[in-house]
Structure formats: C-alpha cells, structure tokens
Amino acid sequence: MAIKPASGPTPLAASISASPSASTHTLSFPAQTFAKLAPLPFLHAHLTSSTGARRPSGRTTSESRPPKIHTGSLTYTSGSAVVRTGDTAVVCGIRGEILLTKDVADWRHPETSPHTPDGENNTARRKRRKTEADEIAGLNLLVPNVELSTGCSPAHLPGSPPSDLAQTLSHRVLTLLHTSQLLEAGQLRIWHHPASSSNSLLQPQPSNTPNNPASTIPGGDEGEGVKDTDGALGAKPQIKAYWTLHITLLFLSLDGNPFDAAWGALLAALLDVRLPRAWWDADLENVLCSPLVSESTRLSLNGLPVPLTVGVLSRDDEQGVGGEKEKKREKWCLVDMDGFEEGCVRETVCLVVKGEGEGAEIVRIEKGGGGLIGRGEMRELVGAAGRRWREWKELLDGIRGDGNGDTEMG
C-alpha cells in the first residue's frame, strides 16, 4: 500500500492504491486526513509544489499573519490590549501597584536626581540606562505572568497545572524586558521633597512630572537640598516608593508563535498604561494618588524591540550524480508559524531587533534545535525582522493617536 498526493495543481488530497490481484482500486481522502497521517510529507508537498512554495494556509514562506490590536479593553487595569495574529489571540492587562522603599530589605538610595541631566552624551546615557535596568531587575518592578487558558488549544485541558510552555514564555518575556531596557526606572520612582511636605496634607507637591516632583521653593537647588520658609536647609529629594507593574498575559486561543503575539500585546498594553499622579505625604507617611485622569501620565518606551520567530524545515533528498549518490539538503525558513507548522520544524530562531535597514539594532538572538542556519540565512532573517519591525511600528504608532484604540493591518 502506498500513500501519495493526488494529481492536481496543489497537493490538497491524497490517494491510496492497492493491487490485490489484477484490479486496482483508488480511494481519495481530504487534505486534513493526509495532514494528520503524514504531517511532514504533507508540508513538503506544499513547499515543493510546481506552482510555487506555499504553505497549507496559502502563505508564502516569508509571509506573516497580519496582526490586529484593540487597547483599553479591561476596565480595572492601568493599561490593557488584545492582540490577534491569525488564530492566536492574547490579552494583556497591566496594573500598577505601589512598593514602599521602607518595605524593601537592605534598600539603598541610588545616586540619582529627579531629572535626567541636560546635555547627556551617548556613553553617559547607555551607562545610566544600564544602571536603571539593574535597579528595575533588583527590585522586581516588572512582574510578567503568562497563562494558557483552558480551551485555547487541544493540548491544554482543564484542571492541569501550569504548563512548561507558560513558564518558559514568562521567563522569556521577563528576560527581554530587562535586556532590552524597555523602561527606565525614572518613570517608576515616586519622589519626596521634605521642604514642601508641610504645605498641605492632601495636596500634591509642585512638580514638573507627577512622580518626580521638583520643588519650586525659592533658593532650592536640585540635588543640594532646599530651604524651607524659615531659611533652614532642607534634606535632599528622596525616593519613597516605586511603581511595580504586574503584567498578566492570557492566551484566549493558541495557534502557533505565542512569544511574538505575547510580546506584541505587552508593547500595546504598555503604550496604553496611565499612571496616576503620586506623591509622598509626610503626615500620613504614605503615598497618595490623584484621582484626576488629566494628571496621569503615560509610559515612554526606550525604543521598540520587536521579535521575529522563524522555523527551519529541512528534507534530505538522494540524487544520483555520475554513478554516485550525494545528499542534497533542502531547507525552508517559515516566518510566523502556525500550530501545525511548529510540529514539523527541527530548528527555530527568534530575532529581536530595533529598527530596520542599516540602522537596525539586534537586541537578542535565541536559537535552538540544530545547525541548519548559516551566516547567509541569518542576514536574510535580519532583513525580514526589520520589515516585521516596520509593520508593528506602524501599528503601534496609531494607539495613542486614533482615539478609539483599534488598529489592524491587512
């Protein structure tokens, strides 16, 4: 008995032929059955079709699924977003909680001021961002958690403990948040100017930014203490608390490439975050927040790191040349794989870039499963990652400007 694709322009069916005696009977079955019986030959048949390399979904090897984004879906969060790429859908909710410095064991006040120094060169900026990234990581100010909901895919059954995939995704998201230095600690600090604390019990201090107040009392120089109304020299500005961002990523549907979808939802939710104006009240010895939305602020991202996950599929074909046989290895790089394709590939590569073209910055490379990708293929993947970065950038740029929170491509 032999299984082979049926004749036709595309391998959308298969045939079973048998010869019990002199007669031959041919039975055909649908493509879905062929894919379940022999998934790898089924995918190879599409990629080696005479009409061109096309995946079972109809996409080319370098074609991604167009993403769709909706922000502000969750009411009781500081920011939220829903992202859908193909049949993979994930919702991200971010909630800001206040961490008091007095509750942190062995906390030491960093040598910094409420404002970024003027005229900062690139070297000083990189050093400052590295220091602030270490501060965020040391205090665990970013807490991501990935959950695969029951029914998001056949592999996730009710009552099961957190899967390895969910824990791996949580770790990868946290690692990329730190290595990309996406947020600066200055946006999460809540400052206190002791000299202005006696102005009012419930009124916030005069400030240039909601969380980083700068005293407006005459004679007060930043970083050198300020004088109170009696002329006494006050203490320097102090960090009394931090904003901690609790990030929850919940998959509603999972059909391949979960990391790219989760990270896209995280970026969209961060751009949707509004943190209320917060200040330290010396009389209450606690942080107070303003209820006015007009006084809240949005987060600023340090660049826009965008991942591109690629699966590498290979097949060894033996061809006779000059009476001898040599192996010819065919390989295909599948961008933005769906669930079926992920079960067939032998190797995966994840590139995270900022920018495109000559100015593209490679933030991170994750690779596993083999050694099929060489330098030439890697250069092509960097170019593909830059094009994917452009797609996401155009999509995310519309979040703050369109007013309704709906953006999509395709």
CA separation (Å) from 151 to 157, 158, 215, 291, 367?
7, 8, 54, 38, 29
pLDDT per residue over 21-40, tens digit each?
Answer: 445 555 577 877 877 888 88
- What integer pLDDT is reported at residue 11 of this predicted model? 45
- What integer pLDDT is reported at residue 95 of this predicted model? 96
Nearest to 270 by CA among 180, 141, 399, 85: 399
Residue 179 CB-density burial (10 A; 0-12 exposed, 13-18 middle, 19+ buried): middle
pLDDT per residue over 71-123, tens digit each?
Answer: 998 999 999 999 999 999 999 999 999 999 999 998 988 888 777 777 778 88
Q: What is the mean pLDDT of the chain?
A: 80
Q: In angstroms, rounded to a whole number, what is the distance separating the alpha carbons of residues 360 and 352?
A: 10
Instruction: Retrieve residue 306's tokens.
Output: 């965008």
Q: Which position has the higher pLDDT, 30 or 301? A: 301
Helices 164-179 and 122-139, packing angle to 10 deg? 150
Q: What is the pTM of this model?
A: 0.81
pLDDT per residue over 236-256, tens digit each?
Answer: 889 999 999 999 999 999 999
Q: At residue 366, does pLDDT exceed 60? A: yes
- What integer pLDDT is reported at residue 1 of this predicted model? 43
Region 314-332: mean pLDDT is 55
Fill in the DSSP letter of residue 233: B
- What integer pLDDT is reported at residue 195 of this predicted model? 65
Region 306-334: mean pLDDT is 68
Region 138-156: mean pLDDT is 89
334 bridge partner residues: 311
pLDDT per residue over 250-290, tens digit each?
Answer: 999 999 999 999 999 999 999 999 999 999 998 899 999 99
| CB atoms inside a 10 Å sphere around CB 319 | 9
Q: Which position has the higher pLDDT, 357 or 102? A: 102
Listed range (53-57, 65-69, 297-301) with the worst mean pLDDT: 53-57
